[in-house]
Amino acid sequence: MAETAGPNSPRRKLTVSIVTFRSDADEFRRTLLSLRTALQEFARDDVAIFVIENSPQNEVGEIVAQELASWTVEVLHGHGNVGFGRAHNLILDRTGEYHLILNPDIEMRPDALQKALRFLEEHPACGLLTPMAYWPDGGRQYLCKRYPALFDLLLRGFAPARLAAMFDQRLARYEMRAETQDEVHWEPPIVSGCFMFFRGDVLRALGGFDEAYFLYFEDFDLSLRAGKKTQIAYVPAVRVVHAGGKAGKKGWWHIRQFGKSAVRFYATHGLKLF
């Protein structure tokens, strides 16, 4: 069985938090397998992993025990569906020198964590790193964004493919496609919450996610706040596959959450229509 990290455990070199809610079991297993592989060069005592299960039932405990049996892991369950950001914040005071916020639908390359750690060690002014990402079919996925106009969000999240294609140049600029190719790019305004590799003291100083966001835009908000305190870098040597999808394709509940969070985001950071 995986070991349990106690509340008085010393601060680790690297900690990882994964929030799950009725997650696809096969996707989650692949995420843990890629995490286990990426941790092979790390000492066991240097790493602690937290899986925060927001589902009514503990649907992931057995998978965690099977895939991460030799690592220090704690599964938190029983707190209810408290939302994405608040769930990650449950372990904020236990984050390590470096901390990875990881989605349960991410597969990373075996060298991803070593390269991320090395980059932050070589660039002490950098407090947040985002990787190069791909869709499962091999197409590029762009995790960096400019400040979003409402029009861009609607196009990207809800427009039919034919309509979105008519604005491809606009979306390419919003997604920073030209800037985020094969070279390091500094100071993208917004990065995705699916893989955020933080310097731990930066994340703790920020207070983690704003818990007023239940789902969606919490990573936008955290990115903008982080950019005021530290340097952010897109690092293409760190590579992942992300199976995430559009909110508009997940049903009305997700669309409502997207809308509620968008209202809070623009009320906090300023409305940009077009």
Q: Which CATH number fits domain 14-269: 3.90.550.10, 3.30.750.200, 3.30.465.10, 3.40.50.300?
A: 3.90.550.10
Rg (CA), the chain: 18
User: Exposed, middle or buried: residue 137 (CB in 10 Å: 0-12, 13-18, 19+)?
Assistant: exposed
Residue 244's pLDDT is: 77
Domain ranges of the chain: 14-269
The structure's pTM equals: 0.94
- Interval 197-251: pLDDT, tens: 999 999 999 999 999 999 999 999 999 999 999 999 999 999 999 997 555 556 8
- Interval 53-111: pLDDT, tens: 999 999 999 999 999 999 999 999 999 999 999 999 999 999 999 999 999 999 999 99
Q: What's the gap between Cα 136 and its chain centre?
A: 17
How many Å apart are CA 258 and CA 237, to the nearest integer? 31
Pairing verdict, β 47-53 and 73-77: parallel
How many Å apart are CA 34 and CA 171, to the nearest integer? 31
- Interval 15-64: pLDDT, tens: 999 999 999 999 999 999 999 999 999 999 999 999 999 999 999 999 99
How many Å apart are CA 25 and CA 75, to the nearest integer? 15
pLDDT band for position 7 (50/70/90)?
A: very low
Here the tokens at position 72 are 């220090």
pLDDT at residue 3 above 80? Answer: no
